[in-house]
Amino acid sequence: LIVELSQYVYACTHLDLTEQARLASVDIIKREAARSTKPFFITGDLNAEPHDEPITRLGDDFQILNDTTQPTFPASEPDICIDYILVSKGSGSARVRRSKVLIKLI
């Protein structure tokens, strides 16, 4: 999902479970972000940990805004981070005012 608003572009995704498909999706995300002259936000379940290649490749063009030390998966007892909020580099100053991971009670 990509939505262009007056001051920025917002995108949301849920990447595949396979590494090959995630990397292909990263290429699409980067290509779409490069087309924009506005700050480009991407959020979602990227099915990758902070040190995994899809995230490090996104890090070439995006700044991660969420705290990657705060686990987001699995929902009942999170112990890894796979969910992200990123903004395109060079978009000016963006900062997180507050964040919280909601734990799903099963």
pLDDT digits (tens, 9 = 90+) for 25-62: 999 999 999 999 999 999 999 999 999 999 999 999 99
Q: Residue 61 burial (CB < 10 Å; 0-12/13-18/19+)?
A: middle
Q: Residue 85 burial (CB < 10 Å; 0-12/13-18/19+)?
A: middle
Amino acid sitting at position 102: L
Confidence tier at 8 by pLDDT (50, 70, 90): very high
CB contact at 8 A, 41 and 66: no
At residue 97, the pLDDT reads: 83
Q: What is the pTM of this model?
A: 0.89
